[in-house]
Amino acid sequence: MRTVRKPAGSAGTGRTGNPGAVVPRDADPAATARTGTAPEGRARTGPGPSDPAKAAGSTARPDRTGPEGAAPGRAKPTAARPAPAGSVPARHGPRPRRKKRGQWVPPQHGAWAMLLLPYLAGLLTAGYAWPDLPLLVAWIAGYLLSYFALLAVKTRRPARYRDQLLAYGLTALAAGAVVLAARPQLVFYAPVFALALGVNGFFASRHDDRALVNGLVSAAAATLILPVVVSVAGGSPWEAGGTFTVVLLYLAGTVLFVKSCIRERGNRAMYSASAAFHAIALAVAAWIAPVHAVVFGWYLLRAVALPRRRMTPFRLGLVEIAGSLLILLSVALAA
């Protein structure tokens, strides 16, 4: 039996005008239009009698959703579970901006030992006088001022650190004025500190502030506060020459030791230089006072043994805290 395709809207497609329906040539058009079905053996393409709305000629699409609104072949949608009591709701939006670390206090923990150790050694050598208190304020404020000033030079953005420069600069100026009013002779130390600061600024401008020479200059500048403390107490800075030398040897050796453990770990030249320096420092310190030989013997041992081990900055910090306390004890015994 041959079949033909009827055009859209013809009697063979019913009132829905389904253009895809295929009916046989000898089918009864009246029956097809009335029931909307093809003869037996063909798929029904129009609305059936069980759907009165569609049988009446509605062109709305049939409801294809499954039970409870779920589409056939898809997972049944589940309602969102309520958050448990006491839970913190998730954030939807940008996180609040945190303050950068080191915005006011430098993140250089070793610098504080380098600042305080020579100052305390000077007190142990010459004793305390009342200008030592504003001197300590000026000394700490001056370090903070120099840190952010060098950072401004390094980044070439001084406006970013304007608040820190003003706050620490005014503090150092006020405390320094009190000290100079009590001890005017301290002004002769200013050119030496200015020279050290100029060297630091040179390396900062080249983005090479981690250079070995820059670290050694910083250690020397920190040690200069020791004769200043002695001068404040009314003594001669030459009287503290031995104490100045052993403290400088310790701080300079610490610069070499830390570099051989972290940034220059595995560098044989840096390791050899650190070990050789500590051996010379041991001989010099023992000549100044035999009591220093024990402490500097420990410094030589750590310079030889610890770089071969994998040391974290935290462990190195603990080692250097012990080393600072030992040198203060040695200075107190030799005084």
Residue 6 clears pLDDT 50, i.e. is over it: no
Please determine, for residue 74, whether its predicted confidence score (pLDDT) is greater than 60: no
Stronger pLDDT, 254 or 106, i.e. the higher one: 254
Of the listed ranges 99-108, 109-118, 156-165, 321-330, the least confidently predicted one is: 99-108
* pLDDT at residue 280 greater than cutoff 50: yes
Which of 258, 254, 216, 233 lies closest to 335, judged by CA?
233
Q: What percent of the chain has pLDDT over 70?
A: 70
Give the H or E element holding residue 199: helix 190-205
Residue 309 confidence (pLDDT): 86
Q: What is the pLDDT of residue 122?
A: 94
Q: φ, ψ for residue 232 (rounded to 5)?
A: -65, -35
Answer whether residue 319 shows pLDDT above 60: yes
Residue 325, pLDDT > 80, answer yes
Give the percent of the chain with pLDDT over 90: 53
pLDDT of 102 reads 52
Q: How far apart are CA 286 and CA 296, in angstroms?
A: 8
**Global pTM?**
0.69
DSSP letter for 237, please: G
Q: What is the pLDDT of residue 44?
A: 45
Rounded to whole angstroms, the Cα distance separating 33 from 88 reads: 65
Residue found by looking up tokens 């840190």 in the block = 147
Q: Which residues pair with 23 in a beta bridge?
A: 4
At residue 267, the 3 state secondary structure works out as coil
Q: How much is the mean pLDDT over the chain?
A: 78
Crossing angle for the helix pair 109-126 and 225-232, to the nearest 10 degrees = 30
Helix/strand number for the chain, H first, E second: 12, 2
Q: For residue range 136-179, what is the model confidence (pLDDT) as tens digits?
A: 999 999 999 999 999 999 888 888 999 999 999 999 999 999 99
pLDDT at residue 312 above 80? Answer: yes
Mean pLDDT of 240-269: 93
Checking if the pLDDT of 108 tops 70, the result is yes
How many angstroms separate the CA atoms of 323 and 91, rounded? 48
Give kind and range of the element (H or E) at residue 4. strand 3-5
Three-state DSSP at 102 gives coil
For residue 79, what pLDDT is reported? 52
pLDDT band, residue 48 (cuts 50/70/90): very low
Token pair listed for 44: 């029904």
pLDDT digit string, tens, across residues 197-246: 999 999 999 988 889 999 999 999 999 999 999 999 988 889 899 999 99
Give tens-digit pLDDT for 185-196: 999 999 999 999
21 confidence band (pLDDT: 50, 70, 90): very low
pLDDT at 299: 96
DSSP calls for 204-234:
HHTT-TT-HHHHHHHHHHHHTHHHHHHHHTT
Distance from C-alpha of 57 to C-alpha of 46, rounded to nearest angstrom: 10
Structure tokens at 323: 């080393």
Q: Categorize the per-residue pLDDT at 100 as very low, low, confident or very high, splitting at 50, 70 and 90.
A: low
